[in-house]
């Protein structure tokens, strides 16, 4: 994700996210009732899973210094809501399973 390019997302759930350079759909993604959950690679997918499973979501000690551009801080609000945890974990599992099947 260090390329500085943003993934293009369609408004709502009309289409999946696409790679900003090639314009192709990302492999690791799953549609939920809130929107598309996507990841660039297994490490990114694992980060989302670990964040979603965490009982206590603490901020890094440097978060209040103005450096708030962490990957977790950029997750959509619906992914960070505790009430959506089970749905997010199911979507992560579906994305992971798509790699195993490929």
Q: Kindly report, residue by residue over 4-55, the tens digit of the pLDDT.
A: 444 444 444 456 788 888 888 888 889 899 988 988 889 989 999 998 998 8
Q: What pLDDT score does 71 carry?
A: 76
Give this prediction's pTM: 0.71
The pLDDT tens digits of the residues spanning 44-101 come to: 899 999 989 988 777 666 556 666 567 777 788 899 898 999 999 999 999 998 887 7
Report the 3 state secondary structure along 26-70: CCEEEECCCCEEEECCHHHHHHHHHHHHCCCCCCCCCHHHCCCCC
């Amino acid at each position: 994700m260090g390329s500085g390019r943003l993934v293009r997302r369609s408004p709502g759930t009309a289409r999946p996210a696409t790679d900003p350079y090639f314009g192709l759909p990302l492999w690791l993604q799953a549609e939920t009732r809130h929107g598309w959950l996507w990841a660039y690679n297994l490490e990114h997918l694992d980060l989302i899973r670990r964040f979603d499973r965490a009982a206590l979501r603490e901020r890094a000690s440097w978060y209040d210094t103005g450096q708030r551009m962490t990957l977790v801080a950029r997750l959509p609000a619906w992914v960070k809501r505790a009430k959506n945890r089970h749905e997010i974990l199911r979507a992560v599992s579906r994305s992971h399973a798509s790699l195993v099947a490929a």
